[in-house]
Amino acid sequence: TCTAQTLPPLPEAESMIGDGPEVLAAIAAMGRDEQMMELERQRMGAKYFFSATFGYSDEPLFETSEESASYSKLGVGAGLAFPIFGTWNKQKISALESEIRSIESEYRPRILKLHNLAALRKAYITLWSECEKIAIAERFLKTEENTSKILIEREKKGLLLPADKIEFLTAYDMARRDIAVSNMRKTQALQIIRLATGQLWEMPQKMEIPTLPAFNGLEADIEKHPEISMRKETLKKYEDLMREKRSVDREGSFTVGATAAKDFPGEIGSGVYASVTINEPLGTVFSKEDKIKKAAEHDLKRAKREELFMRIKVQGEAEEAAALASYAVANIKAQESRLAALTEAVRERIMRHASISGDTFEQLQKSRYQYYRGVMDLLDSEMIFMQTGADLLGYAYPDGPLSEPSERIRPIADNPLRLRMLDPDWLVSKINVPGGNTRILTTDTPVANGYTTAVSSAAAGISHTELPVEPTKAVSTVSQPKEEKEGSIKTDVLMPKSVYVWDASPFLAPETRISSLEKLKAKGFDHFLVSFTAEQIKKFDDYYNRMELEDLLSTSKSMGIRADLLLGESTWLYPEERKDLIRIIERMKKFKFSGIHLDIEPDSLPGAEGKRKDLLGLLIETVKEVKNTTDLKLSVSVHPRYLEGSLGAILSKGFAGLGLEYLAVMIYTTNQDTAIKRMRYIMLMHPSLNFRLAQSIERVLPPEESYFSSGMDVYKESMKSISRALSGIGRFNGMTIQSWEDYGGMQQ
């Protein structure tokens, strides 16, 4: 049995890639095929023959003779047989086929070494990454005992629900699962290393970050890749095969020889001869086509297609690896920014917990788990980046280690920001904050060293720049005064006040919540109508997700931004479906929204055109039932046709006395005069109702209905003009924009 040895550094292990059993087996196969190729060459050409016969005869002297003559006869013969026609072609074909096998065997060890080198490097990177993950998970688990005691105490005091306590403790089960997954991946990586080097190695408990050869970009000619070179050589042999594969069934030989014989009793006789022998199946003699030649043509086409396939495959894999590297660089940058926000959140909540009572411990514990997950995600991103670099080295230097630069570097550079964010001291301390108690500051040190730039520019046509960590906004629930950004919409009474937000994810996520709210504020909005999916609403029963929504509402309030619950599903008009709407409102009562906005459009229902009067009646009933369910301010989106003519009279009567905050009239047009004229008429017809004008910037609507294609400047000027024109008429109190998701895509 073999004794496992200590795993060597990566550069030392790279020198052993030729010792793996798979490579050694391929080398043995190469030697076998070389010998077989030489044998086929030796079999070509003339063959000698030799024969000897001895016989005894007892024959009558003549036909009617009763006497016989008995004698013995010895005969010998020797000569040479030369292959001609198909027989000669078959010998050349066999030699060419053995050369093809030999070429494939010759390249296979090179290909395996190249693949094993990349696999070895990626396995070392995996070992390093998983060791780091296990270390951070074990540190997180050290807080379990103390956290459990505090949670149990708070549960006994009635400050924490049992379900919430269980959910908090589930985080530690997730950490234990992470350790199990990391151990499994370490085992898989070590097995790859063992197979690549042909050695048994011990499982390391800690790893230094692997170094890789310096990489200055993907400039190598793909023609040098062994997969391509092998197929180019074999393709030439297939072309030779096609020329030889013709009339192989017409076999023949030219023979010359000499004979000698001696009778006993008798004298010795001798002779010489020459002969030509031809044989061929009758079926091929009368065939109009040479089938073997046709088959050879198809075989050549197959070889060409396989060569093209491999060329496209290798080129595509190289470009894919380069694209993945560019993504990995951006992903590391994003993960570091996210981790900076999560780290700042921990710092802030530790200070809150030290000075403020309430559920600050639960919020602190939640932020700690989010930080833990952020660290794991960052380590995953760095692992992907480094593994992609290992792949790119195989395309940049297809001849392997001998052609690679001797200089080796660490693909991930340790900068102060990264070191501070990955400092896990707070996990086992009641007072320590990640890296210290000061605010997380920005740095101009790149996330990764020059390796980042190289892999980012590896794909042809991909421009590249240095990628420093951009300034990261400190997470704070206290709004800070800030300078007005260039190009932003001024917060003005004439400008839009509210906006529809259909994707709440960026606002819920801790790492993007502040920046999303700041962007919304910078664009002049102090009011947003936010919608949630059914899955999100369901998850709000879980403590962590509930805290995300509560944090969003409290943070937006502290920043002076009003948040209303947006509910938009047309089928809720029907009485049998309306109970789902009421159930959602009841479920969301525990959250501190400032209001509820209904965007229930009757015209979205099938066949609405022929039954608008009935649908309007259902809308009025729905609004009344919602009003009876909630004490929050209630507003409704409505199409202008329901405020005009006979429908307008029905709506005005139905909404009278409900105390609606406002109606958002969806006059979707980019013609300012049309919007102003129609809105003015509606307000004059319904003087007792409050109104907002809804305008669209949706990219899916045509240019005559949406400002999306008009650009930001045209949109802003139009909103100013419309607001000024309507501000002194009726009970107009602003504008609502549909929707936030399309805002960022507008051109200036």
Alpha helices for 220-290 (secondary structure H): 226-244, 282-285
% of the chain at pLDDT higher than 70: 87
Per-residue confidence (pLDDT) for residue 218, from 0 to 100: 53
Within-domain flag for 15: no
Q: Which two tokens stand for residue 419?
A: 């070191």
Per-residue confidence (pLDDT) for residue 684, from 0 to 100: 87
Q: What is the CATH number of the domain that holds 681?
A: 3.20.20.150
Within-domain flag for 373: no
Instruction: Please give the model's pTM, rounded to 2 decimal places.
Output: 0.60
Lowest mean pLDDT of 304-308, 581-585, 744-748, name the range.
744-748
Q: What's the DSSP call for residue 669?
A: -
Per-residue confidence (pLDDT) for residue 476, from 0 to 100: 31
Residues 424-456: tens digit of each pLDDT: 555 544 444 444 444 444 444 444 454 555 554
Q: What is the Cα 146 distance to its own chain's centre?
A: 39
How many alpha carbons fall within 13 Å on the CB side of residue 190? Answer: 20
Q: What is the mean pLDDT of the chain?
A: 84
Within-domain flag for 178: no
Per-residue confidence (pLDDT) for residue 440, from 0 to 100: 44
Decide: helix, strand or coil at residue 638. Answer: strand
Instruction: Report residue 524's pLDDT band, with 50, 70 and 90 as the boundaries.
Output: confident
Average pLDDT rounded to a whole number, residues 604-616: 89
pLDDT of 482 strictly over 90: no
Instruction: Report residue 421's pLDDT band, with 50, 70 and 90 as the boundaries.
Output: low
Within-domain flag for 520: yes
Per-residue confidence (pLDDT) for residue 423, from 0 to 100: 63
Average pLDDT rounded to a whole number, residues 118-126: 95
Average pLDDT rounded to a whole number, residues 280-291: 84
Write the single-letter amino acid at 447: V
Per-residue confidence (pLDDT) for residue 121, from 0 to 100: 94
Within-domain flag for 205: no
Lowest mean pLDDT of 58-72, 188-202, 582-596, name the range.
58-72
Within-domain flag for 192: no
E strands, 280-344, where? none
Write the single-letter amino acid at 48: Y
Within-domain flag for 350: no
Of 271, 275, 273, the residue nearest 254 (C-alpha): 275
Average pLDDT rounded to a whole number, residues 118-141: 93
Alpha helices for 7-143 (secondary structure H): 10-14, 21-42, 86-141
Of 721, 720, 692, 719, the residue nearest 707 (C-alpha): 719
Per-residue confidence (pLDDT) for residue 496, from 0 to 100: 56
Residues 643-667: tens digit of each pLDDT: 998 999 999 999 988 999 999 999 9
Q: Which domain holds residue 517?
A: 498-745
Q: Which two tokens stand for residue 273?
A: 């001869």
% of the chain at pLDDT higher than 90: 46
Per-residue confidence (pLDDT) for residue 463, from 0 to 100: 31
pLDDT of 485 strictly over 70: no
Per-residue confidence (pLDDT) for residue 219, from 0 to 100: 57
Of 81, 74, 80, 79, the residue nearest 260 (C-alpha): 74
Per-residue confidence (pLDDT) for residue 527, from 0 to 100: 95
Domain count, the chain: 1
Per-residue confidence (pLDDT) for residue 216, from 0 to 100: 64
Q: Which of the two residues, 458 and 155, has the higher pLDDT score?
A: 155
Number of other CB atoms surrounding residue 618 within 10 Å: 18
Residues 691-715: tens digit of each pLDDT: 999 999 999 999 999 999 998 889 9
pLDDT of 76 strictly over 90: yes
Within-domain flag for 38: no
Per-residue confidence (pLDDT) for residue 455, from 0 to 100: 52
Average pLDDT rounded to a whole number, residues 41-56: 92
Average pLDDT rounded to a whole number, residues 106-129: 93
Average pLDDT rounded to a whole number, residues 535-559: 88
Burial of 30: CB neighbours in 10 Å, binned 0-12, 13-18, 19+: buried
Average pLDDT rounded to a whole number, residues 139-164: 87
Average pLDDT rounded to a whole number, residues 607-623: 92
Per-residue confidence (pLDDT) for residue 217, from 0 to 100: 60
Q: SS3 helix, strand, coil % of the chain, rounded to 5?
A: 55, 15, 30
Write the single-letter amino acid at 29: A
Of 21, 383, 359, the residue nearest 182 (C-alpha): 383
Instruction: Report residue 748's pLDDT band, with 50, 70 and 90 as the boundaries.
Output: low
Per-residue confidence (pLDDT) for residue 333, from 0 to 100: 85
Per-residue confidence (pLDDT) for residue 470, from 0 to 100: 32
User: What are phi and psi for residue 76, nearest 5 degrees?
Assistant: -130, 150
Instruction: Report residue 220's pLDDT band, with 50, 70 and 90 as the boundaries.
Output: low
